[in-house]
Amino acid sequence: MSLLIVFILTAVISSYAATPKQCFDNTFHFGVGSSALQTEGAWNLSGKGESIWDRYSHDNQDLVFDHTNADVATDSYHKYKDDIRNIKKLGVTFYRFSIAWSRILPTGLIDEINEDGIKHYHAVIDELLKEGIKPMVTMYHWDLPQSLQELGGWTNPIIADYFVDYARVLLQNFGGKVNTWVTFNEPYSFCHDGYGGLYAPGTRSSGRHDYLCGHNVLRAHGMAFRMYEKEFSHLKASVSITLNMSWLEPATTSVDDQAAAERARQFSFGWFGHPILSKDGDYPPAMREAINRNSRIQGFNHSRLPTFTPEEVAMIKKSYHFVGLNHYTTFLVRLILAGICKVSKRSGIIDTKPSYENDVGAILRQSPTWPKTNSSWLKVVPWGFRKALNWIKNTYNNPRLFITENGVSYEAGLQDVKRVNYIEAYLRSVHDAIYKDGCNVFGYTYWSLMDNYEWMRGYSERFGLFEVDYKSSNLTRSARLSAAFYSTVARTKCIPDNFNYNFNNDTNN
Ligand code: NOJ
């Protein structure tokens, strides 16, 4: 062993030796996650239809950082057995992955079911069960069938019916084998970034189409949950939605910044959390007030934020068995002047353009002192995780929470000490939230099992416990140091004071 490696190992081990041991209950679940578009590849094989991310990455190569697409990704459509072998080696108890809507229903509609798609996911699920790993299935992780986008995608209210049809096909086919379901992954991201920003479908209508998307996603989620209750409750499954929350800390102690930070939380987690988790349901009052007011000033006859009927409010309220939470980082929040009115630097004219950002009336920054990662938006701020968990606990009466994603991207390389440190620090923060603050968290999912297609960043950002060698013909997966670390956590349910670095890296046995 080279001197350098001995040095790194000693440094890491001694840093653990100083910290008291923190263990999770025996019932706490540890797992890993991925999604269909980011890993499967086989984008047009065996009857799969085109998704909005297939179309978007093919048509907008220049927008993707490394000009790549997910046509092959990590080829998990073919290599799922290798992946499951790696999951097994980690010793985790579940795998969170998503089903590609367009692999099951190529046109998005139920008149054409792709039997090869059904067969494929049966094979994946069977392999997991054979290895003693529980499947946690996300129904929608951003890859809408392109043909539904032609109808306006998530901005067309009819989509909620189509989603329920799709969800029913999944429950009919896989309900007997899968007992944890997530309807949607991060609606904030695929609505706001998809319809108001740079993600597929790239509508770029912030403050309008993103709100329509959110509205129909909430309706679709509520309807799917009630459909499950009515038709499939004998399966005794858990059905949930995954929401993302960066911690939003006021940039200063000023009353204005405190209020701006709370408003920004209501506009992000609260946008979906309030209708589903709060006692009264419906959109957060802070969001309703700001958007109604701004819409009026801007000359609209109707609020840009659509309205639920009382029946819809009731249907969506409490439509969950647990809440999925994705958390990665923290931002500092400052008020921006007067909420909607920005004076344009060039013209001096007051800009009252409808936009989500103007509605929030806050500006988000990160401290230059926070450690950087390979993702510009992701700084290492473990204390923010504990604050986010406590905010959810206090705002929504301590719901049952499952962490469906937490992770970090760093440069390629197997000795990823920085990733080990990130996981350790964030897990300690989760541990404090549970055992010191009483937050009701019962599981943790590291994102991701292996490097994969990171949306607009292509393959340039690597989140994996397993490294993927994109240059090798068989996309070789190799365990990183973090895989060994996480494996120790998953097997012992304790954050180790020091851990065993001998991890079997031979992917062939
Ligand atoms: C959240 C998304 O669900 C996932 O697809 C993405 O890869 C990670 N964040 C990292 O950005």
CATH of the domain at 446: 3.20.20.80
Provide the 3-class DSSP secondary structure of residue 285.
Answer: helix
pLDDT, tens only, 467-480: 999 999 999 999 99
Q: Ligand 1 atom closest to Cα of 409?
A: 10
| Ligand 1 pocket mutation pick from 37, 325, 374, 405 by most atoms within 8 angstroms of CB | 405
Q: Which of 447, 450, 462 is the best mutation target for the ligand 1 pocket, counting ligand atoms within 8 Å of the beta carbon and taking the most?
A: 447
| Distance (Å) from CA 236 to ligand 1 centroid | 29
- Give the DSSP letter string of 379-439: ---HHHHHHHHHHHHHHTT---EEEEEE---B-S-S--HHHHHHHHHHHHHHHHHHHTT--
CA dist 259 and 264 (Å) reads: 9
Å from CA of 293 to ligand 1 middle: 33
**Tokens 């390629």 belong to residue:** 412
User: CA-to-CA distance for 99 and 77, rounded, in angstroms?
Assistant: 11
Q: Give the burial string for 370-397 (b: 16+ CB within 10 Å, else e).
A: eeebbbeebbbbbebbbbbbbbbbebbe
CB contact at 8 A, 33 and 97: yes
Residue with the two structure tokens 């927008």: 63
User: Ligand 1 centroid to 497 CA: how many Å?
Assistant: 29
CB 35 less than 6 A from any atom of ligand 1: yes
End-to-end CA distance of the chain: 24
In short, whether 54's Cβ falls inside 6 Å of ligand 1 is: no
What CA–CA distance (Å, rounded) separates 120 from 101?
Answer: 13
Distance of CA 162 to the CA centre of its chain: 22
Residue 447 Cα to ligand 1 middle (Å): 8
Percent of the chain with pLDDT over 70: 91
Q: Which of 455, 456, 460 to mutate to test the pocket of ligand 1 (most atoms within 8 A of CB)?
A: 455
Ligand 1 touching residue 326 (CB < 6 A): yes
In whole angstroms, what is the distance from residue 90 CA to residue 23 CA?
18
For the chain, the domain total comes to 1
Q: What is the distance of C-alpha 280 from the center of its chain?
A: 26
> ω before 20 within 30° of 0 (cis)?
no
Q: Give 3-state DSSP helix, strand, coil % of the chain, rounded to 5.
A: 45, 15, 40
The angle that helices 255-267 and 285-297 make with each other, rounded to 10 degrees, is 100
How many whole angstroms from 463 Cα to the centroid of ligand 1? Answer: 9
How many Å separate Cα 64 from the centre of its chain? 19
Give the pLDDT of residue 351: 57
pLDDT tens sequence for the chain (509 residues): 454 454 455 444 555 445 579 999 999 999 999 999 999 999 999 999 999 999 999 999 999 999 999 999 999 999 999 999 999 999 999 999 999 999 999 999 999 999 999 999 999 999 999 999 999 999 999 999 999 999 999 999 999 999 999 999 999 999 999 999 999 999 999 999 999 999 999 999 999 999 999 999 999 999 999 999 999 999 999 999 999 999 999 999 999 999 999 999 999 999 999 999 999 999 999 999 999 999 999 999 999 999 999 999 999 999 999 999 999 999 999 998 754 455 555 554 455 789 999 999 999 999 999 999 999 999 999 999 999 999 999 999 999 999 999 999 999 999 999 999 999 999 999 999 999 999 999 999 999 999 999 999 999 999 999 999 999 999 999 999 999 999 999 999 999 987 655 555 544 33
Q: How far apart are CA 73 and CA 100, in angstroms?
A: 14
Cα–Cα nearest to 38, from 199, 217, 242: 199
Please give the Cα distance from 504 to 509 (Å, whole number). 9
- Please tell me if the CB atom of residue 74 comes closer than 6 angstroms to any atom of ligand 1: no
Nearest CA to ligand 1 atom 10: 454
Which of the residues 40, 249, 312, 405 is marked catalytic? Answer: 405
Strand duo 401-406 + 441-447: pairing: parallel
Atom of ligand 1 nearest to the CA of 455: 7
Distance (Å, whole) CA 199 – CA 52: 10
Q: Is the CB of 466 under 6 A from ligand 1?
A: no
Looking at residue 500, its pLDDT comes to 58
Tell me, in angstroms, the distance from the centre of ligand 1 to residue 408's CA: 10
* pLDDT for res 497: 86
Q: Which among 131, 140, 232, 233 is positioned nearest to 187, based on CA atoms?
A: 140
Closest residue by Cα to atom 11, ligand 1, is 454
**What separation in Å is there between the alpha carbon of 438 and the centre of ligand 1?**
27
pLDDT reported for residue 503: 56
Our answer on whether the CB atom of 185 is closer than 6 Å to any ligand 1 atom is: yes
Report which residue type is found at 33.
G
- Residue 509 has a pLDDT of 31
The two three-digit tokens of residue 387, written as one number: 């604050």
Q: Which of 40, 127, 186, 249 is catalytic?
A: 186
Helix (H) or strand (E) holding 20: none
Domain of residue 181 covers 3-508
The number of C-alpha atoms within 13 Å of 432 and in the hemisphere containing its C-beta is: 15
Which atom of ligand 1 approaches the CA of 454 most closely? 7
Residue 336: which region, alpha, beta or left (left: phi > 0; alpha: psi -120 to 50)? beta
pLDDT digits (tens, 9 = 90+) for 315-359: 999 999 999 999 999 999 999 875 445 555 555 445 578 999 999
186 catalytic? Reply is yes
Q: Which atom of ligand 1 is nearest to the CA of 378?
A: 11
